[in-house]
């Protein structure tokens, strides 16, 4: 299959109408289109067409019990898809839609089992990214999309990442530049009596608590589950975000972290090692192989660059990677959730 790549100017909608019409034709004839959102690039198909949705699983090599998120371009499109929208769900929608938050509702029959991974619930998101909104609106149907990467690899935050993973396996990529937040959406289950955070993201737990003070947190958000335990977001059980390298997180005060990583570098001096560091620490390492992920003063920069840095580790062929750890408050909860998975929960705590 030839993958067509079309570049849009996110600031100029009028110019792009022809591109959205071409993308909509692909979707409406059962094809796959990768598109930018404010979180990561999504791999989209018509969420109401089970046969089309199946192609997403094939292209990504994704297990079929890992459901997708149905993306809409206006809140009015929600009512046809879900049952029982609770008052707290409405409050969360009002506070955070459009934006990087996904809500899980009881599904209506119109949602095929391929989209919901066989569950009786469906995850829905109204993205804020203008390119995503125009694309979905042009299609005239909800767009089922997981992240547009090969299953298990870091999520794509650039069209070039999608091309690297999926060129020749999907019909089209809409290149709308880099993704603002860079981590997949926050997922909140609102299908029960009390909302539950299933996956942390750029809408933080602290922000959610302002709207839903009684929100609970699924165990899979914080750490590794025991044998036999199941996360409520099926995707959280799979290995994720992994570069080819063996990744270790080192967490403690900045000084201790740098010292410990330098001694680990010495221990592994015969291997191709890399360090994922921050603006504040980048000059402290005894190696040239330092990737700067962002600034500790501006953790949102760390979130935005995280997947790009994990992909760079593969590009440079690192076999061993040491990455600095971060406090698990605010956006740090989502950053550490992704890093822990990338590291297979391999973490050295210094304090
Ligand atoms: P991705 O954006 O690639 O991470 O894929 C979508 C994520 O949403 C996966 O982690 C799924 O497990 C999660 N998800 C989708 N639908 C549901 C649902 N009905 N209940 C819980 N989690 C869901
Ligand atoms: Mg994904």
Q: Separation of 201 CA from ligand 2 center, angstroms?
A: 13
Check pocket membership of 184 for ligand 1, CB cut-off 6 A.
Answer: yes
Percentage of the chain beyond pLDDT 70 is 99
For residue 309, the CA-to-ligand 2 centroid distance in Å is 16
Q: What separation in Å is there between the alpha carbon of 151 and the centre of ligand 2?
A: 7
Is the bond preceding 48 in cis, omega lying within 30 degrees of 0? Answer: no
Q: Residue 285 — pLDDT band, cuts 50, 70, 90?
A: very high
Q: Look at residues 325, 323, 345 and name the one whose alpha carbon lies nearest to residue 333.
A: 325
pLDDT value of residue 210: 98
89, 197, 218, 234: which to mutate for ligand 1, most atoms within 8 A of CB? 234
Cβ neighbours of residue 212 closer than 8 Å, sequence gap 6 or more = 88, 91, 92, 188, 195
Q: Taking the complete model, does pTM exceed 0.75, yes or no?
A: yes
Classify 243 in phi/psi space as left (phi over 0), alpha (psi -120 to 50) or beta: beta
Give distance in angstroms: CA of 56 to centre of ligand 1. Answer: 14
> Which pLDDT score, from 0 to 100, does residue 227 have?
82
Q: What is the pLDDT of residue 79?
A: 98
What value does the mean pLDDT of the chain take? 95
Q: What mean pLDDT comes out for the span 184-209?
A: 98
pLDDT tier at 207, thresholds 50, 70, 90: very high
pLDDT of 185:
98
What is residue 68's predicted lDDT score, i.e. its pLDDT? 98
Please answer whether residues 165 and 149 qualify as being in contact, where contact means their C-beta atoms are separated by less than 8 angstroms.
yes
Distance of CA 53 from the midpoint of ligand 2 (Å): 15
- Alpha-carbon distance of 34 to 135, in angstroms, equals 10
Confidence category of residue 269, pLDDT binned at 50, 70, 90: very high
Specify the pLDDT at position 251: 97
Report the alpha-carbon distance of residue 40 to residue 183 in Å, rounded: 6
- Binding site membership of 129 for ligand 1 (Cβ less than 6 Å): no
pLDDT (tens digit per residue) in 222-268 = 888 888 888 888 887 766 778 889 999 999 999 999 999 999 999 99
Residue nearest to atom 22 of ligand 1 (CA): 233
Residue nearest to atom 1 of ligand 1 (CA): 146
Average pLDDT rounded to a whole number, residues 273-279: 98
Q: How far apart are CA 122 and CA 209, in angstroms?
A: 23
Distance of CA 234 to the CA centre of its chain: 14
User: What DSSP element (H or E) covers 172?
Assistant: strand 172-175
pLDDT of residue 239: 65
For residue 119, the ligand 1 atom closest to its alpha carbon is 19
CA of 234 to the centre of ligand 2 (A): 11
How far is residue 135's CA from residue 309's CA, in Å, rounded to a whole number? 28
Q: Which of 117, 142, 195 to mutate to test the pocket of ligand 1 (most atoms within 8 A of CB)?
A: 117
The answer to whether residues 318 and 274 touch, using CB atoms and an 8 Å cutoff, is yes
Mean pLDDT across 79-92: 97
Instruction: Find the mean pLDDT for residues 197-208.
Output: 98
94 has pLDDT over 90: yes
Tell me which of 100, 235, 236 to substitute to probe ligand 1's pocket, judged by most ligand atoms within 8 Å of the beta carbon. Answer: 235
pLDDT digits (tens, 9 = 90+) for 101-142: 999 999 999 999 999 999 999 999 999 999 999 999 999 999
Domains of the chain: 4-221 (3.90.870.10), 246-349 (3.40.50.11030)
Q: Which atom of ligand 1 is nearest to the CA of 39?
A: 2
- Check residue 15 and give left, alpha or beta (phi > 0: left; psi -120 to 50: alpha): alpha
- Taking Cα atoms as reference points, which of 125, 119, 129, 140 lies closest to residue 25? 140
Residue 296 CA from chain centroid, whole number: 21
């Amino acid at each position: 299959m030839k993958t067509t790549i079309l570049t849009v100017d996110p600031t100029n909608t009028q110019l792009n109408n022809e591109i959205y019409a071409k993308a909509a034709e692909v979707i409406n004839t059962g094809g796959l289109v990768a598109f930018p959102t404010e979180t990561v690039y999504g791999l989209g198909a018509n969420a109401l067409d089970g046969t089309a949705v199946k192609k997403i699983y094939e292209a990504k090599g994704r297990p079929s019990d890992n459901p997708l998120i149905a993306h809409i371009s206006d809140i009015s499109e929600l009512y046809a898809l879900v049952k029982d929208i609770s008052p707290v769900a409405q409050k969360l929608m009002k506070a955070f839609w459009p934006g990087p938050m996904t809500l899980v509702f009881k599904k209506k029959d119109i949602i095929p089992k391929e989209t919901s991974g066989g569950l009786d619930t469906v995850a829905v998101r109204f993205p804020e990214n203008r390119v995503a909104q125009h694309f979905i609106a042009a299609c005239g149907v909800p767009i089922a999309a997981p992240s547009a990467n090969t299953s298990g690899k870091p999520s794509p935050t650039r069209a070039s990442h999608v091309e690297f993973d999926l060129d020749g396996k999907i019909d089209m990529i809409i290149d709308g530049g880099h993704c603002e937040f860079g981590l997949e959406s926050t997922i909140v289950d609102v299908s029960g009596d009390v909302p539950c955070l299933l996956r942390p993201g750029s809408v933080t737990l602290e922000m959610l608590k302002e709207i839903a003070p009684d929100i609970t947190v699924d165990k899979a958000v914080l750490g590794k589950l025991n044998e036999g335990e199941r996360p409520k977001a099926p995707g959280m059980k799979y290995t994720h975000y992994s570069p080819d390298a063996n990744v270790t997180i080192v967490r403690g005060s900045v000084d201790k972290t740098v010292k410990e990583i330098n001694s680990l570098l010495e221990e592994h001096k015969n291997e191709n090692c890399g360090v994922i560091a921050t603006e504040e620490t980048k000059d402290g390492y005894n190696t040239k192989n330092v990737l700067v992920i962002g600034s500790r003063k501006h953790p949102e920069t760390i979130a935005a660059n995280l997947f790009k840095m994990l992909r760079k580790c593969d590009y440079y062929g690192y076999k061993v990677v040491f990455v600095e750890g971060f406090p698990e408050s605010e956006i740090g909860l989502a950053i550490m959730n992704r890093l822990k998975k990338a590291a297979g929960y391999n973490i050295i705590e210094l304090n």
